[in-house]
Amino acid sequence: MKFANVIVDISHEKLDRPFGYIIPDELEEEITVGTAVTIPFGKGNRQIKGYVIEITDQPSFDISKMKEIMAVEEGAAKVESQLINLAYWIKENYGSTMNQALKTVIPVKNKIRNSQIKASVRINYEMLDLYWNLGVAICEKQNQAKWGDAFLKVMSNDLQKAFPGVSGFSVENLKHIRYWYNFYTNNEKWLQGVTQIESMVKSIPWGHNQRIMYKCKDIDEALFYIQKTMDNNWSRNVLVHQIESDLYARQGKAINNFQVKLPEPQSDLAEQTLKDPYNFDFLALREEYNERELEDALVEQITQFLLELGTGFSFIGKQVEIKVGESNFYIDLLFYHVKLHCYVVVELKTEKFKPEFAGQLNFYVTAVNKNMKDEQDNQTIGILICKDKDDVVAEYSLENISQPIGIAQYELTKVLRKEFKSSLPTIEEIEEGLSE
């Protein structure tokens, strides 16, 4: 006589203990570990679905009180059986209990469709949950047994057998999974926010996770880019660009007076929109360029410029005319920020910051508030972007400024030498020629 230990409902972890059943003689050949079966459960012998997790020659308790398995489930989802097999393999190879092993694979129940996870399917939270649990198993057991990497090959082979056609279980990817888990858990930050961190890392695609964990210096930087990816829906390429441009070190670093000139939470949000320095390396400018050339180049590369400015900026125009009294003034660049719900005046200076620059921008921001701002708009802010600045001079200059202003500098390392200027005439040169 054979006996089976059955997990009755893997969707409820409170019922993760096995229950013993007798295997009828006529079903012995059909039932193996992982088989889905119909069993009588509870006092009313309610017929429910269960999964065989162990077959033994010894009953788990008094045989006179044991019930028989009623039938093998016809057409039961194969993947669920595979999950049970995977749990059994973890139990056998890592010395865990079956229940502990089940807790590793339970989270992916009903997350696999069509009997396999196809390589073309976007890796989602549930797949990363499986990866995370594999990371737990790999690291814990490797630490306990002091194993090298050889066991990863065995694990990879067994996982691919349990999940035929599934990508993501190669030896190399298992190493990535191990590094990923260790990266976040081997530090004090992890102990302070286990649930939050684990949820965040599982909320972005696996490819994004790999770029972040290998390119970031520490967990704080990694969590910054994870949050930005979640907030802005960054593609992998955009994410890499932001990391390589060191957004983490630049964002929110510009000198400003937002905390005293804007109410909360607008002040905090506005502060986070600023960078210092701004990276303009996507431009191709010649030596001795002037402010108009810088402005024109930024507008010509407006997509890249908006990416560098950050999420929420909507471009309105360049050299935007605004009339004050009997005089006309022209704003270098005017934007509307959809999250801050306000106009943003951007002034460009191709020289080192001077105190009078802040006064000029203060005037422009005031003019926009009085002539363009509607009742539903928040207070206009100004951003002054200079080639260089003395931080102390910038701070002093904002002391008595009435409007919210931020001061930053820009970096431009890819400047063309004069001799490499295109031989083709500029639009201005063509226009001058036509007027002669």
Instruction: Give the tokens for residue 333.
Output: 């660049």
Q: Helix (H, G, I), strand (E, B), or coil: what is residue 350?
A: strand
The answer to whether residue 142 scores a pLDDT higher than 80 is no
The mean of the pLDDT values for the chain is: 81
Report how many domains make up the chain. 3
Q: Are residues 228 and 326 in the same domain?
A: no
Domain that holds residue 120: 81-247
Write out pLDDT tens, residues 421-434.
Answer: 444 455 455 555 55
Task: Tell me which of 128 and 15 has the higher pLDDT.
Answer: 128
**88/163 same-domain check:** yes
pLDDT in tens, 365-399: 999 999 999 999 999 999 999 999 999 999 999 99
* Per-residue pLDDT, 241: 87
Q: Are residues 110 and 71 in the same domain?
A: no
Model pLDDT, residue 316: 93
Q: Is residue 118 part of a domain?
A: yes
Query: Buried b vs exposed e over 338-356: b needs ≥16 C-beta within 10 Å?
Result: eebebbbbbbbbbeebbee
Among 222, 247, 272, the domain-final residue is 247
CA distances from 355 to 135, 367, 397, 433 (A): 55, 19, 5, 39
Model pLDDT for residues 335-361, shown as the tens digit of each residue = 999 989 999 999 999 999 999 999 999
Nearest Cα residue to 230 out of 125, 301, 132: 125
**Residue 420: band (very low, low, confident or very high) from pLDDT cuts 50, 70, 90:** very low
Q: What are phi and psi of 245, to 5 degrees?
A: -85, 5
Name the pLDDT band for 209 (thresholds 50, 70, 90). Answer: very high
Q: Are residues 304 and 191 in the same domain?
A: no
pLDDT digits (tens, 9 = 90+) for 42-75: 888 888 888 887 889 988 888 988 999 999 987 6
Rounded alpha-carbon distances, angstroms, from residue 295 to 23, 285, 290: 80, 11, 9
DSSP 21-65: EEE-GGGTTT--TT-EEEEEETTTTEEEEEEEEEEESS-SS-GGG
Decide: 99 and 148 in contact? Cβ < 8 Å. Answer: no
In a domain, 432, yes or no: no
Give one DSSP letter per residue of 239-301, joined into a string. HHHHHHTTHHHHBT-SEE-HHHHS-TTHHHHHHHH-BSSEE-TT--EETT--HHHHHHHHHHT
Residue 90 φ then ψ, to 5°: -60, -40
- Rounded Cα–Cα distance for residues 83 and 113 (Å): 13
pTM more than 0.85? no
Residue 108 pLDDT: 44
Query: Contact at 8 Å (CB) between 387 and 352?
Result: yes
Predicted confidence at residue 148, as pLDDT, reads 63
- Domain co-membership, 65 together with 132: no
Looking at the fold, whether 268 and 411 belong to one and the same domain comes out as: yes
Alpha helix ranges (H) inside 202-235: 206-215, 219-232
The pLDDT score that the predictor gives to residue 85 is 65
Residue 38: pLDDT over 60 = yes
